Amino acid sequence: MTLSASDLYAIEARLGARNYKPLDVTLTRGEGVWVWDTEGKRYLDCLSAYSALNQGHCHPKILAAMTEQAQRLTLTSRAFRNDQLPLLYQDLEKLTGAKMILPMNSGAEAVESALKVTRKWGYEVKGVAPDQANIITCSNNFHGRTLGIVGFSTDPLAHNNYGPFAGGFKTVPFGDFDALAAAIDNNTVGFLVEPIQGEAGVLIPPAGYFKRVRELCTEKNIVLVLDEIQTGLGRTGKLLAQEHEGIKSDLTLLGKALSGGFYPISAVLANNDVLKVLQPGTHGSTFGGNPLASAIARAALRVLVEEGMIENARVQGEYFMSQLRTIKSDLIREVRGRGLMIAIELQPQAGGAYKYCERLRDKGLLAKDTHVNTMRLAPPLLIQRAEIDFACEALADLFK
Ligand SMILES: *Cc1c(COP(=O)(O)O)cnc(C)c1O
């Protein structure tokens, strides 16, 4: 017997921790850019699991790689070698030019790993005195939910009542070069930043900001850590968002879409020797780099490139934004974005984006509000014009 959506909801309301307030829709199936609820109603997915589904739902080639690998070998731990992880290393090297790679599982783990490595590098290579290292982060950042990370979150919901927190972090405004320059001291070992702040509402820094940041980090001998967990893997119309800025990080963090939407995997990619501070026993993860995740990630990367999804994100993203900008409404403050990472910021008098997301759901489009007044639109990267037109019609109808 299958349970109805309301039966399922009753179970969730009774037993589930209340750390999410999902839109009232219960999904049971997905294919490409579309998902279906338990009543058989179809929706266009304009969230893509926060960009973990860049390749779309249940991509057949990733599914085939997963089932094939799942029948052979799923987990060895890193106590033994497996025959898949080196192939993933090689693919990532080919795609990004990375010189050394650390596989982990969740995005937050990749961030934590990069912070640990940056500190260790600070002590062992840069020569900072014991326990004196600091790492600079940005206001309105989102880097995940672990204790270390929420310590330097400026979002009260993420931060409050989880202390005491680890020291050694400073905060500067995002996109403010002078503030960064002023915050650096002799003990600064790293700067952790998102190329575009996603959860903050798709905030794009001023042109030229990252070029100057790159130069400053090189000059001051500071590890530039770019969190591309959301912006990476085609989302902004380039493989990595840092390509728009013409720069290379020291450490790049990948997660989300590296999974192809199937199985969590994240990675720290190094463009230099920083990761060499890790020696056997100094860091690890039971599931990190397992053969199942590696095979899935390889397929996820392969379809992204082979099926032209990165270029499609650029082309369709421009089309999507140009169509959204034709919607004339006093309730819309701004449409902004890059590639298929798009936000519609509403005026305060609109009364918050959540209720508009509910009305979009009724029209067959799933989107998510962020920071009260912003609605984020980030469909899978294989979206086509007709589907964008469908989305724009629903949105135009909403704001007319
Ligand atoms: C989602 C996200 C993370 C955290 O990833 P999890 O897999 O949820 O731990 C970190 N950084 C950015 C920019 C993200 O968007």
Do 5-58+308-398 and 60-306 have matching folds?
no
Beta bridge partners of 396: none
- Strands 188-193 and 134-138 turn out to be parallel
What is the rounded CA–CA span in Å between residue 391 and residue 316?
12
Distance between first and last Cα of the chain: 43
Nearest residue (by CA) to ligand 1, atom 10, is 143
Pocket test for ligand 1, best of 50, 227, 256 (most atoms within 8 A of CB): 256
What is the rounded CA–CA span in Å between residue 138 and residue 203?
12
- What distance in angstroms lies between residue 145's CA and the mean position of ligand 1's atoms? 8
Whether ligand 1 lies within 6 angstroms of the CB of 258 is answered as no
Whether ligand 1 lies within 6 angstroms of the CB of 370 is answered as no
5-58+308-398: CATH class: alpha beta
- What distance in angstroms lies between residue 400's CA and the mean position of ligand 1's atoms? 35
CB 111 within 8 A of CB 227: yes
Whether ligand 1 lies within 6 angstroms of the CB of 195 is answered as no
Q: Which member of 227, 238, 250, 262 is catalytic?
A: 227
CA atoms in the 13 A half-sphere facing the CB of 20: 7
Amino acid at 257: A
Kindly state the helix (H) or strand (E) to which residue 179 belongs, with its residue range.
helix 177-183
pTM to 2 decimal places: 0.98
Pocket test for ligand 1, best of 142, 203, 251, 376 (most atoms within 8 A of CB): 142
- The pLDDT score that the predictor gives to residue 147 is 98
Select from 180, 75, 82, 70 the least CA-distant residue to 135.
Answer: 180
Tokens of 20: 């999410």
What is the rounded CA–CA span in Å between residue 225 and residue 391?
35
- What distance in angstroms lies between residue 255's CA and the mean position of ligand 1's atoms? 7
Sign of the C-alpha dihedral computed for residues 375, 354, 360 and 348 taken in this order: negative
Whether ligand 1 lies within 6 angstroms of the CB of 111 is answered as yes
Active site residue 276: no
| H-type alpha helices, 237-384 | 242-245, 291-306, 309-324, 354-362
Tokens of 40: 């058989």
Active site residue 355: no
- What distance in angstroms lies between residue 62's CA and the mean position of ligand 1's atoms? 22
Degrees to nearest 5, angle at CA 50 with 20 and 36: 80
Active site residue 37: no
Q: Which member of 142, 152, 210, 262 is catalytic?
A: 142
Whether ligand 1 lies within 6 angstroms of the CB of 50 is answered as yes
- The pLDDT score that the predictor gives to residue 1 is 66
What is the rounded CA–CA span in Å between residue 285 and residue 263?
16
- What distance in angstroms lies between residue 149's CA and the mean position of ligand 1's atoms? 11
Amino acid at 218: T
Q: Kindly give the confidence (pLDDT) of every residue in the chain, 400 residues in length, as a single tens digit, with 9 standing for 90 and above.
A: 689 999 999 999 999 999 999 999 999 999 999 999 999 999 999 999 999 999 999 999 999 999 999 999 999 999 999 999 999 999 999 999 999 999 999 999 999 999 999 999 999 999 999 999 999 999 999 999 999 999 999 999 999 999 999 999 999 999 999 999 999 999 999 999 999 999 999 999 999 999 999 999 999 999 999 999 999 999 999 999 999 999 999 999 999 999 999 999 999 999 999 999 999 999 999 999 999 999 999 999 999 999 999 999 999 999 999 999 999 999 999 999 999 999 999 999 999 999 999 999 999 999 999 989 999 999 999 999 999 999 999 999 999 8
Sketch the domain layout of the chain as residue ranges: 5-58+308-398, 60-306
What is the rounded CA–CA span in Å between residue 116 and residue 12?
36
Amino acid at 256: K
- What distance in angstroms lies between residue 396's CA and the mean position of ligand 1's atoms? 31
Whether ligand 1 lies within 6 angstroms of the CB of 259 is answered as no
Q: What is the CATH number of domain 60-306?
A: 3.40.640.10
Pocket test for ligand 1, best of 143, 150, 153, 231 (most atoms within 8 A of CB): 143
* Helix (H/G/I), strand (E/B), else coil: 269: strand
